[in-house]
Amino acid sequence: MIKVVSSIMGSGKTSYAIQMINDNPDKKYIYITPYLNEVQRVKDNCTNFEEPDSNIKTGELKLDSLNRLLSEGKNVVSTHALFKLTTRKTIEALEKHNYTLIMDEVAEVISNEDFRKDDLPTILAAKLAHVDEETGYLIWDLERYDGAYNKIKRLCITKSVIVVNNTALVWVFPATIFKKFKETFILTYMFDCQIQKFYFDLHNITYEYYRVIKNGNNQYQLVELEEGFKDNTSDIKINIYTGKKNDIGTVKVGRDRSSYGYLSSAWYDKATRDQLKRVKDNIYGYFKHDTQTFSELNLWTCFKKNQEQLQGKGYSKGFLSCNARATNLYRDKIAVAYVINKFINPIVINFFKIHGITIDKKQQESYALSELLQFVWRSAIREHKDISLYIPSARMRYALQKFLGREHED
């Protein structure tokens, strides 16, 4: 049974999970969260939880530690990054006990970012592996191989690498693992547009929707997510910048479709020095003149590859990855700059299309909005405080305004 707990950020999903764990001490849990500080939060608030760690004296690596703790039936809390490294030993360890999985935020279950363009042709030319024509999986052939492609070899062994259009490698998290848990809770928001949702559909993994509320006893509880349910956004106080600094993300005033891809990852790849300087100057000017906030109150993001090019005086230290989730460390930030335009990787969209799963335009737009909301909710908005937001991408800004019911602000 997979329960998707889809509630807006700050609604108490993690608090509910901690309450559930403490109310059911006889169950065995594995809690997966994005950040180490959240790992510590679970350890501080739940009894008898252990965190996998490497041991220099014994030579045990973190993944070995995770597999051992699971095999021993311990309550485990760890990060998405480690859980992503699941092996056959992990699956075998889970089979020994009836674990409940709590996944704080969706997992990265499909990606091609860890592969280079020449990996596939080189591997095939060297006859290290072959492509299963029926399933698309990359099958490793040279058992005794030990070299630059060891990581890909390991992933192939767990059936985690698929070839798309004979040109690209895609890593896919082994779906088998989700079938090893007695019960699974995924704590997230807007699951309908998340990659993990399409991944579940692809593997015929069923799930049910819930949301978190507080009852009359001030306790958290789950209720079914009603079809058409909408969060109340009337008390969300975001001052969205609408001045000339938005020109970098649009062609002209209004919803001009030609500005659709401005400030996307592909746009940044082709951006000139003058364009990058303009984005940087806009960020600096926004914090310096528009919000007039001190550096410790400023939060900003861009694509990681452009961080050094865009950082500047008065805001550099306030950088946070654009895919940040489930962290409370930035809840004091009241001025935010979000200078990107998010899209689902086209290779991932094509992967699903090949396998009969269509991610339509509406879902792609909702995905972009969900990524934006996740980032913005790292700020002081979590504390129900007013924040100021610079979001020059017309596409992203209009999506947020529509979400907030403020479509005619520009």
pLDDT at 253: 42
**Three-state secondary structure string covering 338-353:** ECCCCCCCHHHHHHHH
**Which token pair is 120?**
């596939």
Does 147 fall in a domain? yes
- 197 and 147 in a single domain? The answer is no
Does 141 fall in a domain? yes
CA–CA separation, 254 and 364 (whole Å):
21
Please give the backbone phi and psi of residue 238, each rounded to the nearest 5 degrees, phi first: -120, 120
Domain boundary among the residues 172, 188, 205 is at 172
Domain boundary among the residues 164, 190, 224 is at 224
List CB contacts of 331: < 8 A, sequence separation 6 or more.
Answer: 378, 379, 380, 382, 383
pLDDT at 258: 54
Which residue type sits at 325?
R
- Identify the burial level of 270 via C-beta atoms within 10 angstroms of its C-beta, where 0-12 means exposed, 13-18 middle and 19 or more buried: exposed
The pLDDT tens digits of the residues spanning 155-167 come to 888 788 999 888 8
In angstroms and rounded to an integer, the radius of gyration of the C-alpha atoms of the chain is 22
Does 230 fall in a domain? no
3-state secondary structure of 404: coil
Which residue type sits at 261?
G
List CB contacts of 53: < 8 A, sequence separation 6 or more.
Answer: 62, 65
- 204 and 95 in a single domain? The answer is yes
Domain boundary among the residues 156, 172, 188 is at 172
CA–CA separation, 20 and 39 (whole Å):
16
- 101 and 211 in a single domain? The answer is yes
The residue range of the domain holding 129 is: 111-172
CA–CA separation, 375 and 331 (whole Å):
11
- 287 and 323 in a single domain? The answer is yes
- 7 and 52 in a single domain? The answer is yes
Does 72 fall in a domain? yes
187, 102 contact by CB (below 8 A): yes
pLDDT at 409: 62
- 360 and 309 in a single domain? The answer is yes
- 142 and 216 in a single domain? The answer is no
Of 348, 303, 346, the residue nearest 323 (C-alpha): 303
Please give the backbone phi and psi of residue 270, each rounded to the nearest 5 degrees, phi first: -105, 0
pLDDT at 376: 95
- 194 and 210 in a single domain? The answer is yes
178, 103 contact by CB (below 8 A): no
325, 105 contact by CB (below 8 A): yes
Does 229 fall in a domain? no
**How many distinct structural domains can be found in the chain?**
3
3-state secondary structure of 224: strand
* CATH code of the domain containing 35: 3.40.50.300
CA–CA separation, 367 and 229 (whole Å):
18
pLDDT at 225: 93
Q: What's this model's pTM, rounded to 2 decimal places?
A: 0.89
Which residue type sits at 328?
N
pLDDT at 251: 59
Does 232 fall in a domain? no
Does 161 fall in a domain? yes
Residues of the chain with pLDDT under 50: 253-254, 256-257
**Which token pair is 146?**
């030990």
Does 408 fall in a domain? no
The pLDDT tens digits of the residues spanning 213-225 come to 988 888 999 999 9
pLDDT at 324: 80
Per-residue burial over 373-387, b if 16 or more Cβ lie within 10 Å, else e, is bbbbbbbbbbeeeeb
334, 43 contact by CB (below 8 A): no
47: left (phi over 0), alpha (psi -120 to 50) or beta: beta
How would DSSP label each residue in 239-295? Answer: EE--SGGGGGG-SSSS--GGGTTTTSHHHHHH--HHHHHHHHHHHHHIIIIII---G
CA–CA separation, 151 and 234 (whole Å):
49
- 203 and 338 in a single domain? The answer is no
- 119 and 258 in a single domain? The answer is no
- 64 and 196 in a single domain? The answer is yes
3-state secondary structure of 212: strand
pLDDT at 190: 95
- 65 and 213 in a single domain? The answer is yes
Q: What angle do CA 395, 104, 205 make, to 5 degrees?
A: 85
Residue with tokens 């004091």: 332
